[in-house]
Amino acid sequence: MAKRTSKNASAAKSNAEAAAIHDQKMQRGEGGELHQFADADSPVLTTAQGGPVTDDQNSLRLGARGPLLVEDFHFREKIFHFDHERIPERVVHARGYGAHGYFETYNSLAAYTKADIFQRAGEKTPAFVRFSTVAGSKGSFDLARDVRGFAVKLYTREGNWDIVGNNIPVFFIQDAIKFPDIIHSVKPEPDSAFPQAQSAHDNFWDFISLTPESMHMIMWVMSDRAIPRSFRFMEGFGVHTFRLVNAKDESTFVKFHWKPKLGLQSVAWNEAVKINGADPDYHRRDLWEAIKSGNFPEWELCLQLFDQDFADKFDFDILDPTKLIPEEILPVQPVGRLVLDRMPDNFFAETEQVAFMTQNVPPGIDFSNDPLLQGRNFSYLDTQIKRLGSTNVTHIPINAPKCPFQHFQQDGHMAMRNPVGRVNYQPNSWGEGPRESPTQGFRHFASEEQGPKARLRPESFADHYSQARQFYISQTVAEQHHISAALTFELSKVKTPVIRERMVSHLFNIDETLATTVGTRLGFKTMPKPADAAMPTRQDLEPSPALSIVENGPKRFEGRKLGILATDGVEAVLLNALTAALTKEKATFEIIAPKIGGVTASDGHWVEAHQMIDGGPSVLYDAVVLFPSADGIDDIVQEAAARDFVADAFSHCKFIGYSEAATPLLEKAGIAGNIDGGVIRIASVKDVRAFIGDLGKLRIWAREPSVKLSKASTPVK
């Protein structure tokens, strides 16, 4: 035993020395990024052609805040190789689900943009939307802790406009040259090919802990934003700063927000894990059933509009994709609504083959010099060509414009149409074919750019912790607990101690209580020092309630689903009153019974069941009601699935309605002595109405500290 202890101590010393040597090899750039420079003991990073690389953190641009330069061969090689890594599945956002719909403009925005889609109030533009997870493969599950893609294709009269966004308004990295690295780190490790659709492993947290610019995004990903209840209850963001350009060639900066009409909602982590086991297609099924039943989901497109003066005075650089503009500082303006009303006729032909590209914009929409956006514009066409096998991606119906189009492009793999006649070029003497139009054509905003041609990161990008702190303090107490629990869980799966310590050192720059809670839960004997920061964390940023899911909940049960556990003899009057009230509320329900056939109600009529108890756990519902009969309770009270149905609903802080006959089941589930305001007895039609009125709160978060499942998330005092 003594020898083994000695070896362990020696190994720990060796690891510590290795970590110290590693840290000495790293230096921080002006923007706060970490550079790992080669020395005599390490190989030099090169291009695929063998050329040594000077800087792998920043793409080549004109000035620190200027546009990306096409001659950046290192970036081109790196991003193009990344784009071509997988066939035919998307490298990222592989698991997706889409729907058709339309966008309706509220009022003319001609003062800001000449984009045709915003010229006429009430005009409807066809749309296709694809929701997705980022890290997992096509066959992964829906409720992974992950960023959600929120990509909208608008078939405008002036060509397709793709708003290729996420459900989180910021991103992990500031420069697109790092995109292959962040995705490589979160994907299954190349030697073992696991874990799938998970970030809880060494590679991901090693990269994150070495990339301070990711700290704001990490707060979002460790929050409940990364485990949404439904696509329908999820925000979307354009992430980047874009430009609107009007007919006078005047520019206004803009950020795009999609706000769900049904409010925000997520699930608990323990709930997400169980949903993945019970129904790995949970999000897909939810969207399919909502649209097929006529409950069409809606979002409002809201804009944050600002000029150069605002940009110059704002606390952070508006070109930095790891930053946002709080809505309390710059309110959003609703300009239209997005409605999804039709599912694809064929998943592969439409959802799988749809190609979104950030560079697809109509006249009147233009780009900023956001370095991540500039890189995405450079990359997306290539990745779609690789994935779909041809430059003729627009010949696929889902990608084809719905407005007239004409050009001289021809031939190529899978060409479905070609120029007609002798002319396939211009200028030509035959007076045939399309011609360019200086008045109608797309014109980039004529911004003036200057600066050295170099690989640079502006100093205005260097504050990596202040907005991360602002996001954290903007959450409710329950949401803060979920963030600390998520960080604890994820880092507990990291096997390398130095990575865990490095990550907690970053957390100290965000919130000391958060860092101490996570470090304590991980078993740290001593806490690490705060990480070196390029800029100190600001303590004066006010909380932004718009960043909290709980503060932006629905306040009503519309669009949600109630699970009703029933047996033979269920009280018909109460059941009928409950289902009628749910229909009036525009909510849905499912009957869960001992047998899939159904049950006989107290008045003798047959009630069809949607689920058996074993196949319909309470995690699939937003709230539950227990309506067994006095005779039927004996048939289910001894079943583990029935007890779990109740215990899980209680642990996940859901509302539980129950009849008197269900009391033994509450006792078996262990909650009879813990009944709170969210466990409501229903004995009359009046009680039904009151219960439905309470459901808009969705959760009783005050219950969570007393629930054993959530004790790991309570902060250390």
Pick the range with the lowest mean pLDDT from 360-364, 431-435, 530-534, 690-694.
431-435
What pLDDT sits at residue 88?
78
Reply yes or no on whether 100 is catalytic.
no
- Cα–Cα dist 288/105, whole Å: 25
- Cα–Cα dist 600/571, whole Å: 10
Among 511, 610, 499, 505, residue whose Cα is nearest residue 562: 610
> What does the pLDDT look like over 498-539, one tens digit per residue?
999 999 999 999 999 999 999 999 999 999 999 999 999 999
CB 252 within 8 A of CB 302: no
The pLDDT-based confidence of 637 (bands split at 50, 70, 90) is very high
Mean pLDDT of the chain: 92
Helix or strand (DSSP H, E) at 335: strand 333-342
Residue position matching structure tokens 């719909």: 101
Distance of alpha carbon 61 from its chain centroid, rounded? 29
Q: Is the pLDDT of residue 601 over 70?
A: yes
Of the three residues 380, 408, 428, the one that is the final residue of a domain is 380
Cβ-based neighbours of 459, under 8 Å, separated by 6 or more = 30, 31, 64
The pLDDT-based confidence of 17 (bands split at 50, 70, 90) is low
The pLDDT-based confidence of 317 (bands split at 50, 70, 90) is very high
Among 340, 252, 325, residue whose Cα is nearest residue 290: 340
- Residue 716: how many other CB atoms lie within 10 Å: 11
| Type of residue at 114 | K
What pLDDT sits at residue 13?
52
> What does the pLDDT look like over 269-311, one tens digit per residue?
999 999 999 999 999 999 999 999 999 999 999 999 999 999 9
> What does the pLDDT look like over 41-97, one tens digit per residue?
778 788 777 777 889 889 999 999 999 998 888 898 888 778 877 657 898 999 999
Helix or strand (DSSP H, E) at 5: helix 2-24
With respect to residue 323, please indicate whether it lies within any of the assigned structural domains. yes
Among 697, 610, 711, 712, residue whose Cα is nearest residue 654: 697
Task: Give me the mean pLDDT over the 660-669 stretch.
Answer: 96
Which CATH number fits the domain that encloses residue 574? 3.40.50.880
- Cα–Cα dist 166/171, whole Å: 9
Q: Is the pLDDT of residue 464 over 80?
A: yes
Task: Give me the mean pLDDT over the 409-438 stretch.
Answer: 86
With respect to residue 464, please indicate whether it lies within any of the assigned structural domains. no
- Cα–Cα dist 263/191, whole Å: 42
Where in the sequence is the domain holding 142, given as residue range(s)? 90-380
Burial class (CB in 10 A: 0-12, 13-18, 19+), 278: middle
Q: Exactly one of 58, 74, 93, 482 is catalytic; name it.
A: 93
The pLDDT-based confidence of 1 (bands split at 50, 70, 90) is very low
Q: Is the pLDDT of residue 11 over 50?
A: no
Reply yes or no on whether 166 is catalytic.
yes
With respect to residue 359, please indicate whether it lies within any of the assigned structural domains. yes
Task: Give me the mean pLDDT over the 114-123 stretch.
Answer: 97
The pLDDT-based confidence of 716 (bands split at 50, 70, 90) is very low
- Cα–Cα dist 376/360, whole Å: 11
The pLDDT-based confidence of 713 (bands split at 50, 70, 90) is very low
Tokens for 597? 């056939």
Q: Is the pLDDT of residue 203 over 60?
A: yes
Which CATH number fits the domain that encloses residue 181? 2.40.180.10
With respect to residue 204, please indicate whether it lies within any of the assigned structural domains. yes
Q: Is the pLDDT of residue 40 over 50?
A: yes
Q: How many domains does the chain have?
A: 2
What pLDDT sits at residue 37?
76
Q: Exactly one of 58, 160, 166, 276 is catalytic; name it.
A: 166
With pLDDT > 70 as the criterion, what percentage of the chain qualifies?
93
With respect to residue 529, please indicate whether it lies within any of the assigned structural domains. no
- Residue 243: how many other CB atoms lie within 10 Å: 19
Is the model more confident about 41 or about 324?
324
Pick the range with the lowest mean pLDDT from 155-164, 276-285, 406-415.
406-415
Task: Give me the mean pLDDT over the 547-551 stretch.
Answer: 97
What pLDDT sits at residue 86?
64
